[in-house]
Structure 1
Amino acid sequence: MKALANIGRIQISNEVMLLLLSLYESKGKSFYYDDLFNRDVQAFEKKTIEINLISIAKHLDLSMTEARIKLFAKKKMVPRTKDEHLLANIKISLLQLQSNPDEFEFLVNEIYNLAKLISKDYEPIVFNTYDKAEDGLLKTKKASKREDLEQLLALFQKSLRSNKHELTQLISNFYVDFMNMNIFTKHNDIIGMIVLYALLLKHFNVFKYVSFYKYFLNIKQTWDQGLITANYYWSSGFAQTDMLNRLLVDLLIKAYEEVDIMSHEYEFEKNLNKSDNIENSILKLQEIFTKEDLRKRHPNVSDATIDRTLKRLKDENKIRPLGKGRGSKWQRIIKGNKKALIEQLSLFGE
Structure 2
Amino acid sequence: MKALMNMDRIQINNEMMMLLLSLYESKGKTFYYDDLFNRDLHAFEKKTMESNLIAIAKYLDLSMTDSRIKLFAKKPMTPRTKDEFLLSNIKSSLNQLHKRPEDFELLVNEVGNLIKLLSKNADPIQFNTYDLEEEGMLKSKKHSKKDDLEKLMNLFEKNLKTRKYELTQLISNFYIDFLNLNILSKHNDLVGLILLYALLAKDFSVFKYVSFFKFFLKEKDGWKSGVITANYYWSSGYAQTDMVSRILLNILISSYEEVDDMAHEYVFERELNKSNNIENSILKLDEIFSKEDLRKRHPNVSDATIDRTLKRLKDEDKIRPLGKGRSSKWQRIVSGNKKFGVEQLSLFGD
TM range (shorter): 0.7 to 0.9
**Paired residues for 1:270-309 under 5 Å:** 270-273=270-273
Structure 2: distance between partners of 1:135 and 1:23: 50
* TM-fit CA distance, 1:116: 1.3
User: 2:135 maps to which residue?
Assistant: 135
Match of 1:29 in 2: 29
Q: Find the counterpart in structure 1 of residue 118 from structure 2.
A: 118
User: Cα deviation per residue 1:278-306 (whole Å; 9 max; x = unaligned)?
Assistant: xxxxxxxxxxxxxxxxxxxxxxxxxxxxx
- Counterpart of 2:146 in 1: which secondary structure? helix
Deviation at 1:123, TM superposition (A): 2.0
Offset of residue 135 of structure 1: 3.4
What is the distance in 2 between the residues matched to 1:265 and 1:65? 33
Question: RMSD over aligned Cα, in angstroms?
Answer: 2.0
Name the counterpart of 1:257. Answer: 257
SS of 1:6's equivalent? helix
Structure 1, unaligned runs of 5 or more: 278-344
Deviation at 1:81, TM superposition (A): 1.1
Counterpart residue number, 2:11: 11
For the residue of structure 1 that corresponds to 2:132, the secondary structure is strand
Aligned equivalent of 1:228: 228
Give the structure 2 partner of residue 20 of structure 1: 20
Instruction: Give the TM-score taking structure 1 as reference length.
Output: 0.78
1:95 corresponds to: 95
- 1:35-88 per-position Cα deviation (integer Å, ceiling 9, x unaligned): 000000000000000000000010111111111110100001111111111000
Q: CA deviation at 1:272?
A: 4.0
Q: Deviations over 1:153-205 (max 9, x none)?
A: 00001111111100110000000000111000001011111111101100111
Point out the structure with max Rg over C-alpha. Answer: 2
The aligned counterpart of 1:50 is 50
Superposition TM-score, scaled by structure 2 size: 0.78
Secondary structure of the corresponding residue to residue 221 of structure 1: helix
Counterparts of 1:180-329 in structure 2, within 5 Å, are 180-273=180-273
Using the alignment, how far apart are the partners of 1:15 and 1:136 within structure 2? Answer: 53
Report the CA distance between 1:269 and its aligned residue: 1.3
- Give the length in aligned residue pairs: 283
* Counterpart in the other structure of 1:59: 59
- Residues in 2 aligned to 1:272 and 1:117: alpha-carbon distance in whole angstroms: 45
Equivalent position amino acid for 1:13 in 2: N
Name the CA distance, whole Å, in 1 between partners of 2:234 and 2:9: 14
Cα distance in structure 1, aligned partners of 2:123 and 2:273: 49
Shift of 1:102: 1.3
Name 1:38's counterpart in structure 2.
38
Match of 2:178 in 1: 178
Shift of 1:273: 4.0
Distance apart, 1:96 and its partner CA: 1.0
Q: Secondary structure at the match of 2:271?
A: coil
Which sections of structure 2, spanning at least 5 residues, go unmatched? Answer: 278-311, 318-350
State how far apart, in whole Å, the 1-side matches of 2:48 and 2:135 are. 51
User: Which residue of the partner structure matches residue 105 of structure 1?
Assistant: 105
Q: Distance in 2 between matches of 1:161 and 1:120?
A: 35
Q: Match of 1:33, SS? A: helix
How far apart are residue 137 of structure 1 and its match?
4.6
Question: How far is the alpha carbon of 1:138 from its aligned partner?
Answer: 3.5
Identify if the C-alpha distance between structure 1 residues 122 and 273 changes in structure 2 by more than 3 Å, giving closer, same or farther.
farther
Task: Determine the structure 1 residue equivalent to 2:280.
Answer: none
Percentage identity across paired residues of the two chains: 67
Q: CA deviation at 1:136?
A: 4.9
